[in-house]
């Protein structure tokens, strides 16, 4: 990779100092970053009443239903038709 200062027409805007930090990092220490706070308790309660809990509803499916769903679809239908044709032709 070619360094930025050797490419014509590209200015090297990020200069480093003797400490190895760029000028921007020296001017704005990480402690001075803006702290973002969450919702207040009143806002959270209002949203809870308005929208409800943030959860995914669970769907209960019986084992019998899961078993029977294995025989529904294109491939199971083709296999069932082949089974019927093989039985009709007595080709076991």
Digit-coded pLDDT (tens) for 46-79: 999 999 998 998 999 999 999 999 989 999 999 9
Degrees (nearest 5) of the Cα angle 42, 47, 53? Answer: 120
pTM for the structure as a whole? 0.34
Q: Tell me the pLDDT tens digit for each residue of 11-34.
A: 555 555 556 656 655 555 555 566
Report pLDDT for 14: 53
Report pLDDT for 19: 60
Domain definitions of the chain by residue range: 4-51
- CB-based burial label for 48 (10 Å; 0-12, 13-18, 19+): exposed
Tallying the residues shown for the chain, one arrives at 92
């Amino acid at each position: 990779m070619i360094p930025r200062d050797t490419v014509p027409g590209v200015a090297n805007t990020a200069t480093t100092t003797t400490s190895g930090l760029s000028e921007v990092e020296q001017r704005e220490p990480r402690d001075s970053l803006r702290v973002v706070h969450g919702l207040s308790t009143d806002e959270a309660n209002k949203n809870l009443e308005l929208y409800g809990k943030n959860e995914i509803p669970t769907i209960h499916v019986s084992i019998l239903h899961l078993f029977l769903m294995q025989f529904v679809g294109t491939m199971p239908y083709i296999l069932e038709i082949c089974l019927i044709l093989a039985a009709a032709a007595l080709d076991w």
